[in-house]
């Protein structure tokens, strides 16, 4: 079933209603619309209701433009709406992965009873590539918490209002335990040519694809660069970066923003190694040649100079 | 022996109300509970309750309920009814909720003719947050945010939102009623019954606006408040059926 709403605010609340009665439900928008959906995403987190929200990021702030960008990383990974919560964020880098991660997003949402965001960008949103659809799961999970009229049983209610402060605190810590479980089980990333790498690039989504093309180029000249591509942006693949930091000293962060995921990289590395940032905000899509130049320079300055 | 003042089946028993003395919310809760039992709807009902004094309605109504963000009730009800048309779905909303922050959701759910019922408690103020001016506040009425009395030049006019949606083809039934006396309460029950029946019969969207006393924020006694509803509020918001398109007629 598909329903067009009058606004993104209404859309996310329709999603809440449908989810509350047990439907698998999603909504999709691009940056400004996602700001409007944040109220509802906070309620989904509070109610512990599953739902999938797709953000195809564009240039901003404000209306910005409709070109590919990655400026909504903070909004997506830090909760986005009000209150003490987290949203799992999946970042596809190909159309195939858009399909795969959408299936996965629904499964994570249902399993942990949480809103899940798929964070793409205007490039992915407009791309055409062949796709093999995953097998649909045979049976959807039971939702014994869903509302469907009380029948002959006791009445139930879904509320986020918890006036008692100690009860609210208990609820918040319960959510934290859920987020810890998600972090332990769902963190995912791709490593590309990291085995012998002396420089590791970190990039997600479209930017990661461009970075891969750049790495292929510089590798031809013997420049040993690898890539970490976070697939979950929250939870962030901190363990992967920490592991690499034991033998790699030089990291380069590529983003189509002025430096947002950069902060998670810095937090993950805990001061180990050097981090160079190269970002193109505003809807400008960087080229492989541009990234390659950064990587060559990094190699000259950090690796060659110290060997 | 029959206990005459026992709560109806879909009202929780032995609960102490948090509503102020003379407040209309408790009366309407009871009517709703009675009707859900009389019309045999309670088992398959999901109610969406608002941000406002009735955010705690689940403490009283013994049916499945979903709390809404301020003003978003009819969007949530839309989501529920669209995926579970077999459920009986109604929203319960105050005037700040339905006619200010939720105006867009109200208008568009009505215009889509969603098969839901809306119970709209008009007490002319934001009750829960301390009596600020609402879109329904009367001209000249003093509230904490219109201390000199509502002046149309600065604060606009009382919003007749039920009249607005009553003009939509998708709105099958709209009526304005009050709960400031036994006769009025019985009329309100009849109106809500008609609204509920619209959904049962698959007719479409219905809305009942209830003029409801808020003695606390009106700074009146319950008795004065009841009188004020008749003497002042009904002049701005006259009671009556605003539209009746049941059975396709006009
Ligand atoms: C987005 C948002 N803004 C403000 C509030 C604070 N708030 C809670 S109830 C309320 C007013 C409710 O007034 P009304 O809808 O008239 O219902 P009443 O309490 O009078 O029954 C407000 C402003 C909120 N909960 N959410
Ligand atoms: S503040 Fe007004 S609306 Fe709220 S419970 Fe008291 S009388 Fe009722």
**pLDDT tens per residue, range B23-51:** 999 999 999 999 999 999 999 999 999 99
Asked if the structure places residue A231 within a domain, the reply is yes
Q: Are residues A172 and A277 in the same domain?
A: no
Q: Which of A186, A211, A231 is where one domain is finished?
A: A186
Write down the residue that tokens 């509350």 correspond to. Answer: A20
Distance B46 CA to ligand 2 centre (A): 24
Query: B25-244 belongs to which CATH class?
Result: alpha beta
Q: Are residues A237 and A280 in the same domain?
A: yes
Query: What CA–CA distance (Å, rounded) separates A79 from A206?
Result: 22
Asked if the structure places residue A36 within a domain, the reply is yes
Q: Are residues A160 and A247 in the same domain?
A: no
Distance A12 CA to ligand 1 centre (A): 19
Q: Are residues A153 and A245 in the same domain?
A: no
The parent domain of residue A16 ranges over 8-186
Q: Which of A186, A205, A233 is where one domain is finished?
A: A186
Q: Are residues A119 and A67 in the same domain?
A: yes
The pTM for the full model equals 0.96
Query: What CA–CA distance (Å, rounded) separates B205 from B79?
Result: 14
Q: Are residues A156 and A194 in the same domain?
A: no
Q: What is the DSSP string of chain B?
A: ---TTPPPTTB-SS----SPTT-HHHHHHHHHHHHHHHTT-GGGEEEEE-SSGGGGGGGTB-SEEEE--TT-HHHHHHHHHHH-TTSEEEEEEEHHIIIIITHHHHHHHHHTT-S-EEEEEE-SEETTTT-EE-TTPPTT--BTTBTT---HHHH-----HHHHHHTSTTEEEEEEEE-SSHHHHHHHHHHHHHHHHHHHTT--EEEEEEE---HHHHTS-HHHHHHHIIIIIHHHS--EEEEE-GGG--
The number of the ligand 2 atom at minimal distance from the alpha carbon of B121 is 3
Q: How far lies B226's CA from each of A149, B155, B222, B223, in Å?
A: 35, 26, 6, 5
Contact A17 B108 (CB under 8 A): no
Q: Are residues A103 and A149 in the same domain?
A: yes
- Most B CBs within 10 A among A2, A13, A83, hence the mutation to make, goes to A13
Asked if the structure places residue A2 within a domain, the reply is no
For residue A98, give the CATH number of its domain: 3.40.50.970
List the one residue out of A40, A41, A77 whose CA is nearest residue A57.
A77
Could you tell me the two tokens for B93? Answer: 């909303």
Q: Which of A186, A215, A242 is where one domain is finished?
A: A186
List the pLDDT tens digit at each of the 250 positions of chain B.
Answer: 666 678 899 999 989 999 999 999 999 999 999 999 999 999 999 999 999 999 999 999 999 999 999 999 999 999 999 999 999 999 999 999 999 999 999 999 999 999 999 999 999 999 999 999 999 999 999 999 999 999 999 999 999 999 999 999 999 999 999 999 999 999 999 999 999 999 999 999 999 999 999 999 999 999 999 999 999 999 999 999 999 999 854 4
Asked if the structure places residue A1 within a domain, the reply is no
Could you tell me the two tokens for B114? Answer: 């969603």
Query: What CA–CA distance (Å, rounded) separates A10 from A12?
Result: 6
Q: Are residues A239 and A208 in the same domain?
A: yes
Could you tell me the two tokens for A39? Answer: 């109220």
What confidence tens digit (pLDDT) does each residue in A50-97 have?
999 999 999 999 999 999 999 999 999 998 999 999 999 999 999 999
Q: Are residues A138 and A19 in the same domain?
A: yes
Q: Are residues A173 and A43 in the same domain?
A: yes
ipTM value, please give it.
Answer: 0.94
Does residue B81's CB lie within 6 angstroms of at least one atom of ligand 2? Answer: no
- Residue B3: per-residue pLDDT: 65
Residue B130 CA: which ligand is closest?
2
Q: Are residues A170 and A131 in the same domain?
A: yes
Number of domains in chain A: 2
């Amino acid at each position: 079933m598909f329903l067009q709403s009058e606004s993104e605010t209404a859309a996310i609340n329709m999603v809440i209603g449908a989810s509350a009665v047990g439907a698998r439900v999603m909504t999709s928008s691009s940056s400004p619309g996602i700001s409007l959906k944040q109220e509802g995403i906070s309620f989904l987190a509070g109610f512990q209701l599953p739902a999938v929200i797709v953000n195809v990021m564009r240039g901003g702030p404000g209306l910005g433009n409709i070109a590919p960008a990655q400026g909504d990383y903070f909004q997506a990974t830090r909760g986005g709406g009000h209150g003490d919560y987290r949203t799992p964020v999946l970042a596809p880098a190909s159309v195939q992965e858009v399909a795969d991660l959408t299936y996965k997003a629904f499964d994570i949402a249902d399993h942990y009873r949480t809103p899940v965001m798929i964070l793409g960008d205007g490039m992915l949103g407009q791309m055409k590539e062949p796709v093999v659809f995953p097998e649909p799961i045979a049976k959807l999970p039971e939702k014994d918490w869903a509302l469907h009229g009380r029948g002959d049983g006791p009445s139930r209610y879904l509320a986020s209002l918890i006036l008692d402060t100690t009860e609210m605190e208990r609820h918040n810590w319960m959510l934290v335990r859920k987020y810890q479980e998600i972090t332990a089980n769902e963190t995912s990333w791709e490593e590309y040519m990291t085995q012998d790498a002396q420089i590791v690039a970190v990039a997600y989504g479209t930017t990661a694809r461009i970075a891969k093309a750049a790495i292929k180029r510089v590798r031809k000249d013997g420049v040993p660069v690898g890539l970490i591509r976070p697939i979950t942006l929250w939870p962030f693949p901190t363990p992967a970066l920490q592991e690499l930091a034991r033998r790699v000293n030089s990291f380069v962060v590529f983003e189509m923003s002025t430096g947002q995921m950069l902060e998670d990289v810095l937090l993950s590395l805990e001061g180990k190694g050097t981090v160079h940032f190269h970002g193109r905000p505003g809807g400008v899509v960087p080229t492989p040649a541009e990234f390659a130049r950064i990587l060559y320079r990094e190699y000259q300055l950090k690796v060659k100079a110290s060997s | 022996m029959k206990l005459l003042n026992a709560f109806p089946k879909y009202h929780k028993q032995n609960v102490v109300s948090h509503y102020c003395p003379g407040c209309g919310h408790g009366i309407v809760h009871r009517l709703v509970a009675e009707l859900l039992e009389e019309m045999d709807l309670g088992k398959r009902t999901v109610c969406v309750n608002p941000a406002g004094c009735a955010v705690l309605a689940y403490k009283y109504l013994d049916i499945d309920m979903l709390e809404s963000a301020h003003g978003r009730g009819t969007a949530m009800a839309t989501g529920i009814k669209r995926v579970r048309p077999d459920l009986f779905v109604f929203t319960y909303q105050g005037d700040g909720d339905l006619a200010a922050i939720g105006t867009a959701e109200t208008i568009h759910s009505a215009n889509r003719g969603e098969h839901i019922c809306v119970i709209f408690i008009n007490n002319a103020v934001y009750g829960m947050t301390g009596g600020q001016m609402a879109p329904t506040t009367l001209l000249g009425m003093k509230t904490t945010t219109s201390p000199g009395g509502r002046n149309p030049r600065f604060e606009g006019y009382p919003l007749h939102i039920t009249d607005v949606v009553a003009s939509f083809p998708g709105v099958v039934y709209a009526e304005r009623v009050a709960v400031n006396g036994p006769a009025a309460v019985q009329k309100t029950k009849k109106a809500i019954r008609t609204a509920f029946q619209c959904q049962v019969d698959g007719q479409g969207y219905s809305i009942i606006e209830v003029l409801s006393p808020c003695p606390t924020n009106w700074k009146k006694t319950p008795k004065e408040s009841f009188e004020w509803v008749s003497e002042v509020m009904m002049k701005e918001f006259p009671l009556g059926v605003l539209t009746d398109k049941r059975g396709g007629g006009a």
